Chains A and B, each alone.
Chain A
């Protein structure tokens, strides 16, 4: 079986799963009982109280910061995968592959420590 055929299998599964999700959504519309609507039922759910204020309040900049840091460190992890796969074969010939990754991680540890010291990862204040 050629490698690309495996991706065709994934594609086939994707189509089937999308079909399943669509069928289930459609089925519940067809079979499900439609109730009466009214203003209270249409309002946002806040435990029986009438909704107060903006429905999409501003949220802390920290969530955004976490997302940014995630992107940066995710790239670090991505570089580790190809390294990890070949490490065992390469390290026997040349220790460079170990030191190379160590210094790469070291550089990013500096970044991590900086973020930590600046309190970017503190959530308890």
Chain B
């Protein structure tokens, strides 16, 4: 997963980068699944690799980025990127190092005998009892996004 993550950044060809991102998303999904979050893992594949990345590929094709692949490396940009990445790694190390709870491993999930643990049901119960309001806010967010998409593409079309 990390390997393909590096692939995203290093590849000069935008399509190759996008595909590397797809593979690292699948890796992320398998991480979710190994943490017993099966629903989230599958949704990760369904939404991110199945929908969002298809959109990315579409955009790449629409923009026809042939020059991008040929452009020479900009030394300053690479150096700047490296500095930012190092800063991020440093911050992460610091935060994780001073987070005391992180040292204990999670206890294994206890499932009562004769029952199956169903994370989908647990998630559904939580979302639609305690967090109904938050779901509505997400709905509003999606509404805003839709309006934005339609407005933007209309502008392009009328040009």
Q: Contact check, A101 vs B142: say whether CB atoms are below 8 A apart.
A: no
Binding site secondary structure of chain B:
helix
* Complex alpha-carbon distance, A8 and B20, angstroms: 23
> A123 interface residue, CB < 8 Å from B?
no
Contact, CB under 8 Å: B145 / A64: no
8 Å CB interface, B101-144 against A: 116-118, 120-121, 123-125, 127-129, 132, 135-136, 138-140, 142-143
B153 touches A61 (CB 8 A): yes
Most B CB within 10 A of own CB, among A56, A86, A108: A86
Q: B67 on the interface (CB 8 Å rule)?
A: no
CB of A44 within 8 A of chain B?
no
Q: Which 8 A-B pairs have CB atoms at the shortest separation, nearest pair first?
A: A82-B124, A86-B124, A111-B146, A107-B139, A100-B132, A111-B143, A67-B55, A68-B149
The SS class assigned to the A binding surface is: helix
Pair A115/B150 contact, Cβ less than 8 Å: yes
Report the stretch among A15-23, A30-38, A69-77 that lies at the interface: A69-77
Is A78 interfacial (CB 8 A cutoff)?
yes
Contact residues, B23-67 vs A (CB, 8 A):
30, 33-34, 36, 38-39, 43, 46-47, 50-52, 54-55, 58-59, 61-62, 64
Number of residues of chain A lying within 8 A (CB) of chain B: 47
Q: How many A-B residue pairs have CB under 8 A?
A: 136
Quick one: CB contact mask for A29-61 with B, threshold 8 Å, 1 for yes? Answer: 000000000000000000000000000101101
Whether A82 contacts B146 by the Cβ 8 Å rule is no
Residues of B within 8 A of A65 (CB): 149-150, 153
Cβ-defined contact, B142 with A67, below 8 A = no
Most buried by A among B51, B118, B128, B129: B128
B138 touches A64 (CB 8 A): no
- Chain A residues with Cβ below 8 Å from B94 are none
Q: Do A71 and B52 have beta carbons less than 8 Å apart?
A: yes
Is residue B157 contacting chain A, with contact meaning CB distance below 8 A?
Answer: yes
Assembled-state Cα–Cα distance A67/B135 (Å): 23
List residues 52-94 of chain B with CB under 8 A from any CB of chain A: 52, 54-55, 58-59, 61-62, 64
